[in-house]
Chains A and B, each alone.
Chain A
Amino acid sequence: MSDDRDRLADELTPAALEATYPDAEPDQLAHVETVPAVAADTVAPGDVLPAWLADALDHDLYSHQAAALDALRDGENVTVATSTSSGKTLVYALYYALLKRRDPDARALFVYPTKALSTDQERALNDLFGDLGVDASAETYDGDTKAERKPLIRANRDVVITNFAGINHYLSNHAKWRDVYANTDLVVIDESHTYTGVHGMHVSWVLRRLRRVLDHYGSTPQFVCTSATIGNPKDHSEALVGREFSVVETDGSPRGRREIAFWLPRRDDDGGGSGSDEGAASAPADADAPTARKRAGAAAASVTSHLGLSGVQTLAFLRSRQGVEIAAKRARDAAREHPTDARLDAKPYHAGLSKRKRRAVENTLKSGRTDAVFTTSALELGIDIGGVDATVLAGYPETRQSFWQQIGRAGRGTSKALSVFVPRRDAIDQYILDDPDYLLGDEIEDAVVDVSNNHVYARHVRCAAEELPLTADDAAWFGPRERLERAVSVWRDAGEIVGDLERGAQYDGRPRPQASISLYATTDVEYEVRRVDGEIDMEPIGRERAYRDYHPGALVMYDGEQYEVVDLAEDRHRPYVELERVRTNEYTTTAHEKRVHDIEATRSRDLGDGYSLHAGTGTVEIDYTQYRRHDIGDGSVEGPYPIDLPPIELRTHLTWVELPADMESRVVDALGPAALLDADGAPASDAGWTFAGGLHGAEHGMIKLAPLELRLDNSDMGGLSTPMHPETGAPTWFIHDAVEGGVGFAHSIYDHVEAVAAKTRDRVARCDCADPTGCPSCLMSAQCGNDNEPLHKGATTAILDAVLSRLDAPERESEGSPTPDA
C-alpha cells in the first residue's frame, strides 16, 4: 500500500488515482482533461510605473497587470478579466498608490461582494501598502463596523472598503461622507462578475446613485472592475457602471500542468435512484442511466478520503453547508475502511461556522497541516489559503468560471496539480460529461445585467430623491428623461415625492426609503422564512417563490435539511412562511395552471417557413392548485391535496418561439407511429400528446441548459408550451422571467438562442436514459407544474433540429418597434 500511496502523491495524475483507488470500477475514470502548463508573461515594472514605485516592487509584473496599469494611467476605466490568483488586487492597489502620490488627499472606495473577502483584503492591502512604502491605509466600513470607528474611518482612511448593501444605506447620509466623496478618485468593484440578475440590476442602480452623489461633490472617479473570465466583460461592466470600459483579458500569469479526472460515482447496488440530486422524480432503474449511480456527494467524499490518506492535501467543493458536513464525516468514516487503516484529518468549512473556526481552517490549509477540507463556494472567492495538491468538485458549480476558480485552487505556483470532477445526475453535469470540450471552449457565459425592470428602477429613483433633489439633469443617471418623469410622477401621485424635475423633486415619505430595498428581490413583498422548532438562516423569499415552493404542505430542502411548510401567512405587514424540520423519504410536486397573455413583442426574428422568434413582455398568470407527496422508496403517491392560494400575476419579460401551424404532422411523420406516446386518457390524440411532449421538452431543456451560456439563476425562470396559443395563433413555447418586471434572463436567451438550443438538442439526443419520456438528466424538471407530462425526447430533438436549421438559414431580421423602456 505504501507504494501506491507514494505513487499518487508523486505523480498527481488521474491514472495514478485510478490505479491506487481501492476496487475502482473499470469505467469510473470516464475522461481525462489535460491543461498544459503556461509560462508567465512578464514586464519589468519600470516599463509602466515611475521609478519610485517600480523600485519598491521586488518582482516583475504580469503582462495583464502592466496593460491594466497602462490603461488606467491613460485615464480609462478598466475591467481586468483574468484567472483567479492572477494578481488583480495588485493592479488597483498600485494605481491607487500613484493617485495618492499625485494628490495626498486622494481617496478610494473598494467594494467587495462578501464581508469575509473585505476582511481578507483589508489585511492584504495594508500589508502591500506597507511593503511598497506607500503612506496609505485601508479599513473596512460595513454593518459589522463599530459605531465609534465609523467617523474615524470617514475622516482618516484613504481607502474605504465596503459592500453595495452598505453603500445603498450610506448614500442617505452623504453629508457625513462629504470628505470621502469629495476626494474619491478611484472606485474598485471586485469580483464584478458576481453582480448579475436581480442582484446585478440593483447594484447597477446603487452605482448610478453613488456616481450622482460623487458628482455632486465634484468627483468623477475612475472605475476598476475585476472579474473572472466571462463572455462579455466589456458589456457587463458598462451596463453595471454606466461608463465606458477597456478590457484586459490576456492573462500573463503562469500556470502549472493540470489534469482533471472525470470520476463517476460507483453504480448503486441498491437498485438505483435513492433520491435524485435535484429532488425530482427518479427515472426507472436503467443500468446505463446516470440515475443508476450513487450520488456525487458520497463519491466525492470517498475520493477525497483516498487522496488525503495518500498524502495529497485536498480541497473538496460541495454545494451546501449540510453537504459539506456530511461529506466530511463520510470521508472520515471511509478512511476507517480504507486499506491504509489510517486516521484522516478532514475539516468542514462554510459560512455557517464562526469566524474563529473559519480562520483556524484557513490557517491549517495555508500551513499544509490538514489532509482534507470540505467546503462550500465560500473558499472559491479570493480568500488566501495558499495552494493545495488536489481539488475535488462534487458536481458542476453552475458556471464555467466557478468551475475553473475551484479547479484553480489546486497547485502551488507552477507545480503540477490534480483535480477530480464528480458529475451529478442533472442535465448540465451530464452535458459536460458528454462534451468536456465545453469547459475549454472559447465561448464563456455572458453575465446578464438588465436595467429595464421598472419596479427596481422606481425604488432606486425614490432613494435618489431622498439623497438629493431630482432635477432634469438627473436624466444623465436615471434617464431617459421620459422614464424619469414617469417615475417621479408615480411617486408624486403615491404621496412620496413632492415637487417636479424643473425645480427639484424631493422625497416626502417615511424616513430612509433605502431600508425598503432588498438587493436580491424585485418587489418589496418578501416572505420571512421561519421555523416553528428552531432557527433557520435563510434570506427572505419573494412572493412567486413562496407560492411555488413554500405553500403549506410542501416539502423543501434547505442546506441539506428537509422541512415541511406549515404556514404561509400574508394577511399582515410582514408576511412569512413557517417551516418544521422533518425527516421523510418523500418529496412533493406542485401542480399549477399557467396562462401567458397580453404579449407584446419588442424584438422579433422571422425565421421563414412559419418559424419565428420573439422577445418582449407579457402577463404570466400562475395558479398553484394542488400538490402530491411522492415516496422515494416505493414510488407511491399520495394526494392530490388542494392549495388554497390566489393566482399570481406577473408582468414580466418573455422570449418565445412560434412554429408552423402544421408542425405537429411534420414531427409525427418524422418520428413514425411506433415512437408515439400513448395519450392514455389525456385530452389529446397520441400524435397531439407526443407533439406536446416535444414542445414541453424543448421549453424545459432550454431553461435547464441556459446556464451553460449565461450566468443566470434558472429558478428565476419558467416556461409554458402550447400546441396553439390564442394570441400567437401557432404552436408556441414561452420562456419567461419569474420575477415581476423581468430581470433580463428570458431576453438574454433570445440573444443566445442558437447556442442554447444547440446545447439542449445535444444533451437530449445523447442522454443514456432508455425511457422515451426522458429523465432528470435531460428533460425532467423539479419545478414542472404538470408532473413532467407530457415529455418526449424524440419530438424534442425533432423540433429543436427544425428550429436550428431555420436559425442557420439566411436571416430576415425584423426588429419590432421597441417600446421606450425596453
Chain B
Amino acid sequence: MEGSVALAVYPATVLDRLTDRGLRESLAYLDPDAVLVERPRHGARLAAVGSDRRVLRLTDLPTGVVAGASGPQLACLSTPRGFETLAGHERRGDLDAASETYVLSDALAVDVDLTALETTLEGRAAYEEALDGAAIDGSYTHLTTNADPGYRNDWDGLAVAGVWPGASETSASPPARIAALRLYGDGTVASDTYDPGRFGLEGLDGVGPTRAATLREAGYATKAAVAASDPGELQRCEGIGATTERTIRYSAKARSEGVVYRTSAERLPGNDPVFVDIETDGLSPTMIWLIGVYDSRTEEYRSFLATDPNASGRAVSAFAEWYATRASGRPLVAYNGERFDFPHLHEHVTRHCPEYAATWRDAWTFDLLWWASTEGNAVLPGATNALDDVAGALGWESAGTGLSGAVVGQRFRRWLADPSRATELDWARHERYCEDDVRALAYVYEAVRDAEPIAGVARSDGPRDAAATTTTQGTLGDFE
C-alpha cells in the first residue's frame, strides 16, 4: 500500500447546511487531496473559509491529472475525448502506469429499468470508444458522479465506481451527505459518507440548526467554547433547560477533550469480557471466514480463520468450541454486535455446529455501541460513532492496514467466486486488520469502563448480573 489519494465530495445541499466553522472542521478532519463541488460559487465558498485544497467543479471538470504525483493518481475528464490527453500524460511518464489511475467524469451513468429488469451504463459506448482509441496501458478505475459512493461494478472489464451521495435513483432517500473516498494503488476504493451535522455545533448531541444558532448568538462559536462553559451557564439561552444543557455540555466535552463521559449509573458487564469481531463475505453473509477474539482474562488474542470456500462453517465451529470450553458464561462484547455480529454468529452456529446452539443461545452478549449510544449510557468522542473514529479520538493508534470492512468483504467474495492465486487474499494482513479492530474495541471498552460519571450520576461498582443484561439487550429498534 504505497500511498493513497483522498477525494471529498460536497454536494450543494451539504454546503447549504454547513456553517463556515463546520466546513473548516470537516475539511480538517477528512484531509482530502481534492474536493469535488457542484458549481463555481461552491468552490468560492471553500476559498472563503481559507481552504487551499484542490477544488473540482462538476459544471466544468478539467481534463488532466489533478492529484497524486506517484502511486495512485486522480485524473479528470471533461469529456471522454480527454482520454487522448491522458494517453499523452502516460507516454510522457506523468502518469504512473505501475499504480492505479482514477478517472473522474460525469460521462457514465447507471440507469436501472426495473420494468425491463435491466441495468445499463449510459454513455458507455462513447466512453469505451474514446478509451480504446486512446490506447492507454495502465490500470484504470472510472469514477462517475452519477452513482453513489460505494457503488462499484465491473462492466466487462470497465471498472466503475460512484462518488456522488444520492446519485443512484434506487437508493432509499439518502439525506444530504459528504462523501470521503480513499483511492488506493491496487484499485481499492474505500468510501464513507458523513452527515454534515456531525461537524460544527450541530455535531453535539441535542443540538440542531435552531439551537446551534442560539448558541452562536450567545457567543458559543465552537465545541470547545461550549465545553468550557460552567454548569448552568447554557441555561441562559432560550429553549435550553437543565437536562438539555447537560447533554450538550458533556457531548462538547467528550468531543473536544477526546474522552468518554458516562451519563448513567448503568454498569458494564465485569467478569473478564471476551471481545469479538467477525469478517464475512457480505451483509447477509453466506460465510463467516474470520473471527478475532481478545480474551481480557488471559490478555491473549487469537483468530479463527477459514480460507476454504467449501468449508464455510470451519471458523464458526472452531470459535464456538473455543467459547464453549474456554469462555462459557463470560460476556461477549462486540461493537454494533446487536445488528451484525451476534445475529449472524447465532445463525451460523445453528447451521454449522448445532451442538453449540444451546451454549450460544444462553451466551451473554453485549453491544458496546448499543449500550452507549442507543441506550444513552455514555457519550463517545469521534466525528462518527464508527469504531475507528471513536478509538482514534480516544488516542488509539491504528495499525494502519489500509483495509475497511467493505473492501475486505469485496476481496473475500472475489476469492470465493474464483479461488486462485490471482484472487487469494494476503491472509496475514487481514488477520492483522481484524486484530486491530478487536484491540481497538477493547481499548474503547476500557475507556468507557474507566470513564467518570457526570455530575449527579452515582457510580456503582461491581459487575452487574447477566439477567439484567439480557433484558436490556432485548430492547428494540424501530422496525422489529
The chain A residues found within 8 Å of chain B, CB to CB, are: 147-148, 150-151, 169-170, 172-173, 175-178, 454-455, 458-459, 465-469, 483, 486-487, 489-496, 498-500, 503-504, 506-510, 512-516, 523-524, 573-574, 651, 740-741
B476 within 8 A of A: yes
Query: Would A508 and B115 count as touching, CB distance under 8 A?
Result: no
Question: How far, in whole Å, are A408 and B121 apart by their CA atoms in the complex?
Answer: 58
Interface residues of B in 137-157 (CB under 8 A from A): 147-148, 150-153, 155
* 3 closest cross-chain pairs (CB), A and B: A493-B119, A504-B286, A175-B343
Chain A residues in 8 Å Cβ range of B117: 454, 458, 483, 486-487, 489-490
A141 CB → nearest B CB, Å: 9
Chain B residues in 8 Å Cβ range of A503: 281, 286, 309, 416-417
Closest to A650 in B: B115
Query: Would B110 and A494 count as touching, CB distance under 8 A?
Result: yes
**What are 25 A-to-B residue pairs whose CB atoms are below 8 Å?**
A151-B474, A151-B475, A151-B476, A173-B480, A454-B115, A455-B114, A458-B117, A489-B117, A490-B119, A493-B112, A493-B119, A493-B121, A494-B110, A494-B119, A494-B151, A495-B168, A496-B171, A499-B281, A499-B282, A504-B284, A506-B283, A509-B172, A512-B479, A573-B166, A740-B115
Query: Would A498 and B410 count as touching, CB distance under 8 A?
Result: yes
Question: How far, in whole Å, are A698 and B115 apart by their CA atoms in the complex?
Answer: 29
| Chain B 173-214 interface mask (CB, 8 Å, partner A; 1/0) | 110000000000000000000000000000000000000000
B450 within 8 A of A: no
Closest to B148 in A: A495
Query: Would A516 and B282 count as touching, CB distance under 8 A?
Result: no
Query: Would B118 and A490 count as touching, CB distance under 8 A?
Result: yes
Residue from the set B119, B166, B309 with the largest chain A CB neighbour count within 10 Å? B119
Given A499-B413, A507-B284, A455:B475 Cβ within 8 A? no
B170 within 8 A of A: yes
Question: How far, in whole Å, are A515 and B171 apart by their CA atoms in the complex?
Answer: 11
How many residue pairs link A and B with beta carbons under 8 A? The number is 135
Query: Would B116 and A495 count as touching, CB distance under 8 A?
Result: no
Chain B residues in 8 Å Cβ range of A574: 173
Partner of A524, one of B110, B113, B170, B286: B170
Closest to B346 in A: A175
Given A490-B114, A651-B115, A573:B173 Cβ within 8 A? yes
Residue from the set A172, A496, A512 with the largest chain B CB neighbour count within 10 Å? A496
Given A170-B480, A454-B114, A516-B172, A498:B119 Cβ within 8 A? no
Given A175-B343, A573-B166, A740-B115, A508:B282 Cβ within 8 A? yes
Query: Would B286 and A469 count as touching, CB distance under 8 A?
Result: yes
B285 within 8 A of A: yes
Chain B residues in 8 Å Cβ range of A515: 172, 479
| Chain B 280-324 interface mask (CB, 8 Å, partner A; 1/0) | 011111100000000000000000000001000000000000000
Query: Would B417 and A500 count as touching, CB distance under 8 A?
Result: yes
Chain A residues in 8 Å Cβ range of B475: 147-148, 151
Closest to B120 in A: A493
Closest to A464 in B: B284
| Chain B 109-139 interface mask (CB, 8 Å, partner A; 1/0) | 0101111111111000000000000000000
Closest to B155 in A: A493
Question: How far, in whole Å, are A512 and B475 apart by their CA atoms in the complex?
Answer: 18
B162 within 8 A of A: yes
Query: Would B413 and A498 count as touching, CB distance under 8 A?
Result: yes
Chain B residues in 8 Å Cβ range of A176: 343, 476, 480
A219 CB → nearest B CB, Å: 14
Query: Would A494 and B168 count as touching, CB distance under 8 A?
Result: yes
Query: Would A467 and B284 count as touching, CB distance under 8 A?
Result: yes
Closest to B406 in A: A508
B347 within 8 A of A: yes
Main secondary structure of the interface of B (DSSP, over half): loop
Closest to B13 in A: A573
Chain A residues in 8 Å Cβ range of B153: 492-493, 495
Question: How far, in whole Å, are A498 and B479 apart by their CA atoms in the complex?
Answer: 24
Closest to B351 in A: A216
Closest to B344 in A: A175
Chain B residues in 8 Å Cβ range of A523: 114
Chain B residues in 8 Å Cβ range of A150: 476, 480
Query: Would A495 and B115 count as touching, CB distance under 8 A?
Result: no
Partner of B162, one of A147, A495, A499: A495
Query: Would B479 and A173 count as touching, CB distance under 8 A?
Result: yes
Beyond the given pairs A494-B110, A524-B170, 20 more chain A to chain B contacts, judged by CB atoms under 8 angstroms and listed by A's residue number, are A150-B480, A170-B480, A173-B479, A467-B284, A469-B286, A486-B118, A490-B114, A490-B118, A490-B119, A493-B119, A494-B170, A495-B147, A495-B148, A495-B162, A499-B286, A500-B417, A503-B281, A509-B172, A515-B172, A573-B173
Question: How far, in whole Å, are A469 and B150 apart by their CA atoms in the complex?
Answer: 20
B222 CB → nearest A CB, Å: 31
A651 CB → nearest B CB, Å: 5
Closest to B343 in A: A175
Chain B residues in 8 Å Cβ range of A491: 119
Query: Would A495 and B346 count as touching, CB distance under 8 A?
Result: no
Question: How far, in whole Å, are A176 and B338 apart by their CA atoms in the complex?
Answer: 10
A499 CB → nearest B CB, Å: 6
Query: Would A510 and B171 count as touching, CB distance under 8 A?
Result: yes
Given A175-B343, A495-B148, A510:B480 Cβ within 8 A? no
Closest to A484 in B: B117
Query: Would B286 and A169 count as touching, CB distance under 8 A?
Result: no
Given A469-B284, A741-B115, A496:B417 Cβ within 8 A? no
Residue from the set B118, B476, B477 with the largest chain A CB neighbour count within 10 Å? B476
Query: Would A172 and B479 count as touching, CB distance under 8 A?
Result: yes
Given A495-B110, A741-B115, A506:B480 Cβ within 8 A? no
Chain A residues in 8 Å Cβ range of B476: 147, 150-151, 176
B448 CB → nearest A CB, Å: 24
Query: Would B285 and A469 count as touching, CB distance under 8 A?
Result: yes
Question: How far, in whole Å, are A480 and B293 apart by their CA atoms in the complex?
Answer: 43
Chain A residues in 8 Å Cβ range of B347: 175
Chain B residues in 8 Å Cβ range of A500: 417
Query: Would B174 and A510 count as touching, CB distance under 8 A?
Result: yes
Chain A residues in 8 Å Cβ range of B172: 509-510, 512-513, 515-516, 524
Chain B residues in 8 Å Cβ range of A178: 346
Chain A residues in 8 Å Cβ range of B171: 496, 509-510
A670 CB → nearest B CB, Å: 42
Chain A residues in 8 Å Cβ range of B283: 466, 506-508
Closest to B342 in A: A175
B163 CB → nearest A CB, Å: 12
Given A176-B476, A495-B148, A506:B115 Cβ within 8 A? no
Question: How far, in whole Å, are A496 and B283 apart by their CA atoms in the complex?
Answer: 11
Question: How far, in whole Å, are A509 and B114 apart by their CA atoms in the complex?
Answer: 16
Chain B residues in 8 Å Cβ range of A458: 114, 117
Question: How far, in whole Å, are A469 and B282 apart by their CA atoms in the complex?
Answer: 9
Chain A residues in 8 Å Cβ range of B480: 150, 170, 173, 176-177
Question: How far, in whole Å, are A492 and B117 apart by their CA atoms in the complex?
Answer: 11
A470 CB → nearest B CB, Å: 9
Residue from the set B170, B347, B476 with the largest chain A CB neighbour count within 10 Å? B170
Partner of B114, one of A465, A516, A741: A741
Chain A residues in 8 Å Cβ range of B115: 454-455, 651, 740-741
Given A494-B168, A741-B115, A169:B284 Cβ within 8 A? no
Query: Would B479 and A495 count as touching, CB distance under 8 A?
Result: no
Query: Would B284 and A506 count as touching, CB distance under 8 A?
Result: yes
Partner of B116, one of A466, A483, A508, A651: A651
Question: How far, in whole Å, are A11 and B116 apart by their CA atoms in the complex?
Answer: 62
Query: Would B151 and A495 count as touching, CB distance under 8 A?
Result: yes
Interface residues of B in 435-480 (CB under 8 A from A): 474-477, 479-480
Query: Would A493 and B173 count as touching, CB distance under 8 A?
Result: no
Question: How far, in whole Å, are A491 and B116 apart by their CA atoms in the complex?
Answer: 12
Closest to A514 in B: B479
Closest to B171 in A: A510
Question: How far, in whole Å, are A177 and B152 apart by their CA atoms in the complex?
Answer: 33
Partner of A495, one of B120, B152, B343, B416: B152
